Every structure is written in structure tokens, then in C-alpha cells.
Structure 1
Amino acid sequence: MRKIISLFFVFLIGCTLLISTTYADWAYAFVVYDGNSYIVSETHIEPNKIGKKIGEVTEYSDREGTYSGNFSNQFLKGTEYYEIKGVNTKDAIAVKKSEGLFIKVNYNGKYGASGKQVNSEYNWQILLPYFIGAILLIGIIYLFLKKRNSR
């Protein structure tokens, strides 16, 4: 009976380790520039108010997740980012939607993947449950073998 209960707990721990957390919040369309998140607005920017090109979308996906780089869930890879004359890039930037049409995107804070880039680096918040699970599993195996050898 104890063997069955032990196996049940090992199975339960293994199943909980397969559940992963998604850090993205996709309640709105956004772009990421230089680790900062910007919400896409409906505001058009006149071409004469556009400054220099500061970057472009390096990764696009419409599937919820956490991505690194200059990412967007609305604009395709290669879509260009521009400064808006007289506006700090920490407040807003412009995205080139088409030739001569620029959309204002407003600063929303640090992007959720900054420091947690699931696709490109290890992260303790993700690895910790696996580490704890491995320690528990090793402990259970150790106790099982110790009890078995004492008979």
C-alpha cells in the first residue's frame, strides 16, 4: 500500500512540473522596443513629425507566449519603429503601418519577458519547480531504497 501511495505522489509531482506559466498579457495589441512594452493606439502621426528610424519588429507571433527582442503581436517582422519629434521614446514611438502612415504606440512599462526571456535564457522562476521536484524525487527514492535495504 505504501508503495502505491509513494508512486502516486511521484506521479502527482511529475504532473505538476509539466504545468508552465505564461508571462504575457495579450489583452491588447502591443509592440516591444528595447525591452519596453508599447500599446498600439488609433492615433495617426503626420509624416513631418516622424524622426529617425530606431528599430524594427524582429519577431512576430499571434500566439500568446513570452518572446525576446523587438516583438509584436500585431505588426509583422520587419515593421519599422520611429522616433516622434519632441516626444521621449519612454513616452511613445511611431510604427510605420504603410507608406506615409504612422501609428502612435504609447509606453506601457517594461515588457514581461525582460529578464524572463523564456525562449533564450534560463530563468529561476521557471526552473525552481523542476529543481524542487527533482529534490523531492531523489528524497523519495532514497527513503525507498533505505527502507528496502533495512529488511
Structure 2
Amino acid sequence: MRPKISLIFVFFISSSLFVGVVSADWANMFVVNDGKIFVISEEHVAPKQIGLKIGKVTKYSDREGTYSGNFSNRYAKGTGYYEIIGIEVNEAIAIKDDKGLYIKSTYGGEYAGDRYNGIDFFPYVLAVLLVFISGYLLRKKINR
């Protein structure tokens, strides 16, 4: 019985080594704000047209997947989202880039993805399995 447990343990440890970061080519560069996708354009917005700050990037990822919060596949965590004076927030917003320029991003639809990606839970599942296997092996060793 012990060799089977050891093989299972080795399988889980080795399979966790193959979980890695995969970059993807997204169809568009975008930000998500309050469940809405805004596609990033190359159009700049003059600073005098910028209104209130309405949010910021809470997660950056270049991996295809679904994420919760205000995320982007272009801008780093903390990058600000702003109103554009005279344009409804549901139509377009401005993104302040790392050079201090404001870039127009237009509404591209509701974000339809799941809140969580299954791969996000893999480390937790692996940890729980390792705890159970370790507990089983320890109990078996004590009962000898």
C-alpha cells in the first residue's frame, strides 16, 4: 500500500511543476471597469477634457483567462481610469499611462467571463491533498 501512496504523492508534486505562466495574444488590449470592457485606442485625450478618477487597475495579466475586479492586459496594477468630460462613462473612459498621457478607451461590451478561473484554485486543491496524504502517512506510521 505504501508504494501506491508514494506514487500518488510524487505524481501530485511533479504535476505541480508543469503549471506555469503562459502568455497569450489577446484580440484587443483592454481594461475592465465595473464589469465593462473598454478597448484601448491610440487616441489621446487632452488633460483639460479629463474629469474625475473613476477607478484603477486592480490586476494585470497577460495570460488569457477570466479575472475578477478591474483588470487589464495592457496596464499595470494601480493605473487610473478617468471620466472624459462630455462623454458618458458607459461610452468611453480615459486611461492615464505611465508617461502621464491620457488614452481613450471605448466601451466594448459587458464582461461575460466567470469571476474565477479553475486554475486559480489548483494550488489550494494540491495543498489540501498534500495535507490529507501526509496525515494518512503519519497516522499509518504511528499505528505500526
What range describes the TM-score normalised by the shorter chain of this pair?
Answer: 0.5 to 0.7
In the other structure, the counterpart of 1:41 is 41
Could you tell me how far apart the structure 2 residues matched to 1:51 and 1:98 are? Answer: 18
C-alpha displacement at 1:119, in angstroms?
Answer: 4.4
In the other structure, the counterpart of 1:52 is 52
In the other structure, the counterpart of 1:70 is 70
TM-score normalised to structure 1 length? 0.59
- Unmatched 5+ stretches in structure 2: 1-24, 119-144
Query: Is residue 29 of structure 2 the alignment partner of residue 29 of structure 1?
Result: yes
TM-score normalised to structure 2 length? 0.62
In the other structure, the counterpart of 1:118 is 116
> Across the two proteins, how many residue pairs are aligned to each other?
94
Q: Is the 8 A contact 1:68 1:119 kept in 2?
A: no
Larger Rg: 1
Q: Is the 8 A contact 1:31 1:70 kept in 2?
A: yes
C-alpha displacement at 1:102, in angstroms?
Answer: 0.2
In the other structure, the counterpart of 2:95 is 95
In the other structure, the counterpart of 1:135 is none
Could you tell me how far apart the structure 2 residues matched to 1:100 and 1:61 are? Answer: 21
- Unmatched 5+ stretches in structure 1: 1-24, 121-151
Could you tell me how far apart the structure 2 residues matched to 1:42 and 1:62 are? Answer: 19
C-alpha displacement at 1:118, in angstroms?
Answer: 1.7
C-alpha displacement at 1:98, in angstroms?
Answer: 3.2
Compare 48-57 and 93-102 and name the one that shifted more. Answer: 93-102
Identical aligned pairs, as a percentage?
A: 56
Could you tell me how far apart the structure 1 residues matched to 2:109 and 2:26 are? Answer: 14
